[in-house]
Amino acid sequence: MNIAVIYGGDSCERDVSVITAVQTMKLLNKFAYRVYPVLLGEHGGMFMPAHADDIRTYIGEKADVGEAVFFKGKTLCKSGRFMRRLAEIDCALLCTHGGAGENGALQGFLELCGIPYTSPGVEASAICMNKLTSKSVFAALGVNVLPAVKVRKGERERAFEYARGQGYPLMVKPARQGSSIGIDMAADEEQLRKALDVAFEFDGTALVERALTDFTEINCACVKYGQEVLVSSPERPVCWREFLTFEDKYLRGGKMSAPGREFPANLPAPQREYIQKSALKVYSELEMKGVVRFDFLLDNASGEVYLNEANTIPGSLGNYLWTDKGIDGCRLADMMIEQALAESAAQKPAYRSDILEVFGSGSANACKIGRGHL
């Protein structure tokens, strides 16, 4: 079976994507899969590095992006003086984080090519990439979210008006970024002004929401396999900061996680049940597939739990959240590929009609269609 591992792109999370892909390719090499690495270029294009599963390939000034490739339908081809067909791709395993690789654009491209893929679909990916849209959808599904306001770059006064009514502290986030990129907390007007400056460096729209002062971050994941959606045990990242920064998640100790973790998280039964049921509800209602990690905030003062965001392609594909269920990274990748192939095969055939034949015949019915009787 031919598997395209797609990663990279122009997202701020490009390096994290490369790490996820390298980890995943090493896992897939243990199976009878033929792995085709497809690195999305920082400035467009697709490439196939020669030593794709070696992290050193991507480091330094001489980083090897490899030979240019492209998709012609389901066929992966090598560019050059003469086009060469490399393989018919059976499934794409997505290791893209952020940007066009996670917001539905890549998913839509793969659907046009007819290639099954392992992440949620176009609609769910687009919803979850936008923190404002996803907050509205989560709330509509009856899941608790923190109150917030949308602030465009030219409408900063909305943030200050919200602050006067809501009070401080506030969290400021770019609307369409992940991994805590561009996020900061504001305790007063001056800090709010600076936090908006940072957020607008990454997105023309920001989210300003009420910040919790005493809270615990809790992660929980879902993955569909067959007709069942499996829900992971909750995890509690352990951090000395008020919230996890990009550096906390990826640059301390060289690991794709927080400095420490409690897994499974030691939670009271009501909170644990609420987190798992909420994750399952959102995953199921948005008809997701692949591994999706849901990040919650537990207000230690009130005991209330809020869904913060959904990561449709989490770092390391969230494989660390399944170890207590006996599912390692190899098995998880295999499950995701199996599910993507099964759902693709089960898709309903396109509706066909004889409109073109009728229209082309010059008949009376064709005249009616032409006058707007569709």
Cα distance between residue 256 and residue 118, in whole Å: 20
User: Model pTM?
Assistant: 0.88
| Residue 295 and residue 183 share a domain | no
Tens of pLDDT, residue by residue over 109-153, are: 999 999 999 999 999 999 999 999 999 999 999 999 999 999 999
Cα dihedral 133, 137, 143, 144, rounded to 10, equals 30
| Mean pLDDT value across residues 250-273 | 74
136 and 272 assigned to the same domain: yes
Range of the domain at 89: 2-117
Residue 56 within any structural domain of the chain? yes
Helices (H), the chain: 14-28, 105-113, 122-129, 131-140, 157-166, 189-202, 246-250, 269-285, 329-345, 355-360, 364-370
CA–CA distances in Å: residue 132 to residues 149, 176, 193, 211: 8, 9, 20, 15
Q: Residue 347 class from Cβ within 10 Å (0-12 exposed, 13-18 middle, 19+ buried)?
A: exposed
pLDDT attached to residue 348: 75
The CATH number of whichever domain residue 239 belongs to comes to: 3.30.470.20
Do 158 and 68 lie in a common domain? Answer: no
Q: Count of domains in the chain?
A: 3
Distance CA 151, CA 207 (A): 6
Rg (CA), the chain: 23
* DSSP type of residue 52: T
Quote the pLDDT of residue 252: 44
- Identify whether residues 42 and 113 lie together within a single domain: yes
Q: What is the CATH number of the domain that holds 34?
A: 3.40.50.20
> Position 244: which residue type?
L
What digits encode the pLDDT tens for the residues 299-322? 999 999 999 999 999 999 999 999
CA angle 190/176/235 to nearest 5° reads: 90
Do the Cβ atoms of 45 and 126 come closer than 8 Å?
no
**In a domain? residue 278:** yes
The mean per-residue pLDDT over the stretch 342-349 comes to 87
Domain-located, residue 354: no
* DSSP state letters, 202-222: H-SEEEEEEPPSSEEEEEEEE
Residues 186, 222, single domain; the answer is no
Q: Are residues 11 and 105 in the same domain?
A: yes
User: pLDDT at position 182, please?
Assistant: 85
